[in-house]
Amino acid sequence: MTINQRKKGHDFERKIAKKLQEDLELVKPVRRILSQYQEKNHPDLKLGRWNLECKAYKKGFEPATAWWEQVLGVTREGEFPALIYKFDNKPIRVRIMAKNINRELRDSSKVVDLNWDSFTYLIKQMYEEDLKGHK
* Domain ranges (residues) in the chain: 3-118
At residue 53, the pLDDT reads: 97
Give pLDDT tens digits for 14-54.
999 999 999 999 999 998 776 555 456 789 999 999 999 99
At residue 6, the pLDDT reads: 74
At residue 38, the pLDDT reads: 47
11, 57, 58, 118, 130 from 4: Cα distances, Å: 10, 11, 12, 30, 33
Please say whether the beta carbons of 107 and 99 come within 8 A: yes
At residue 36, the pLDDT reads: 52
Give pLDDT tens digits for 57-102.
999 999 999 999 999 999 999 999 999 999 999 999 999 999 999 9
> What pTM did the predictor assign?
0.91
For the chain, the C-alpha Rg in angstroms (whole number) is 14
Confidence of residue 3 (pLDDT cuts 50, 70, 90): low
135 vs 128 pLDDT, higher one: 128
Closest CA to 135 of 13, 31, 21: 21
- The residues, ordered by sequence, that sit 6+ positions from 53 with a Cβ below 8 Å of its Cβ are 43, 44, 67, 70, 71, 74, 81, 82, 83, 84
What is the C-alpha to C-alpha distance for residues 40 and 23, in angstroms, rounded to an integer? 29
Statement: 3-118 belongs to CATH 1.25.40? no
Please say whether the beta carbons of 46 and 34 come within 8 A: no
Distance of CA 59 to the CA centre of its chain: 19
